[in-house]
Amino acid sequence: MDAVLRSEHSPFVGMYEPVGYASAPAARRRAAKVAERGQEELKKGIAELYDESSEMWEKLWGDHMHHGFYDKDASVSFSDHRPAQVRMVQEALAFAGITDDPLKKPKRIVDVGCGIGGSSRYLAKKYGAKCEGITLSPVQVKRAHALATAEGLEDQVSFQVADALKQPFPDGQFDLVWSMESGEHMPDKTKFVGELARVAAPGATIIIVTWCHRDLSPSEESLQPNELNLLNKICSAYYLPAWCSASDYVKIAQALSLEDIKTADWSENVAPFWPAVIRSALTWQGFTSLLRSGWKTIRGALAMPLMIEGYNKKLIKFAIIACRKPM
């Protein structure tokens, strides 16, 4: 997998700052403590970012806090964007082959990085399933509960503050494991996928939809310096650790003996999304909501053109990875 080294001075685990590894046990212990402290700072930043920004996002874009899925090269209007976010959920389910067959449809679902519960409620209603969502944001949990109660789903869906790398569930609990745009926040991608696999029941489907960087060519050992610089700027704005490629996720899934692994690049299908988010931020409602949200949200808004730049340079990829836990 792509080799990414971290400096102890970096505010987030996995930032792209090469350093040499010390070999002495004491140095390794010190590095482990630094890494742990960095992960705690990262989690705190993620939680605060979503505590600040979720209300604004819901007002402007609704309860699905993720990209929309659009036809390639389609001309879209603002009214198309909320349906496109629902379509993203539908396309992910179709890609993974999730069936509506009453005998085969999922009955227990976990939504890892649930936001304010948009996917959880959709999946619970579609399949008549029980769904449990986890997020680092207490504000999101409170809002997700309120929306579930308003829709009469309080007996089907539940939400709690929890770490995706230490999920509060027993082994083999869920027959659909769902992660919609949360993987990019995970400082340890191997542990992340390992936890998804752990809580999956035998035969369960795992769906990961996430931001990735491009695959490396056979002659490359890492991304180019200008690419790393761009990703570092995005990492700082959105509280992200180091990125990985879709092929890295495939290698992790293979190492975990997961089956029926497949992936797709949906970058062209999400192309209208970030320009639309910028336009919504420039409306009066968007501008005033942004000012009320706080500095973390403002900093994220200022970084939105960097996401467009990354997509345009084919550096950022919007990927789906689906696989199945062996029976």
| Position 130 in a domain | yes
pLDDT digits (tens, 9 = 90+) for 276-289: 888 888 888 878 88
Domain that holds residue 268: 50-64+82-214+224-325
Predicted pLDDT of residue 133: 98
Predicted pLDDT of residue 289: 80
| Position 113 in a domain | yes
Predicted pLDDT of residue 33: 63
More confident residue, 122 or 59: 122
DSSP of 86-149, one letter per residue? HHHHHHHHHHHT----TTTS-SEEEEET-TTSHHHHHHHHHHT-EEEEEES-HHHHHHHHHHHH
Predicted pLDDT of residue 269: 95
| Position 274 in a domain | yes
Span of 207-211, 268-272, 311-315 with lowest mean pLDDT: 268-272
Tally of domains in the chain = 1
| Position 11 in a domain | no
pLDDT digits (tens, 9 = 90+) for 181-225: 999 999 999 999 999 999 999 999 999 999 999 999 999 999 999
Q: Which pLDDT band, with edges at 50, 70 and 90, does 1 fall under?
A: very low
pTM of the model: 0.89
Q: Which pLDDT band, with edges at 50, 70 and 90, does 31 fall under?
A: low
Q: Which residue is associated with the tokens 């730049």? A: 309
What is the CATH classification number for the domain harbouring 140?
3.40.50.150
Predicted pLDDT of residue 76: 75
Residue 243, SS3 per DSSP = coil
| Position 192 in a domain | yes
| Position 25 in a domain | no
**Which residues have CB under 8 Å from 95's CB, separation 6+?**
207, 262, 264, 320, 322
| Position 219 in a domain | no
Token pair for 223: 């991304």
Amino acid at 103: L
| Position 22 in a domain | no
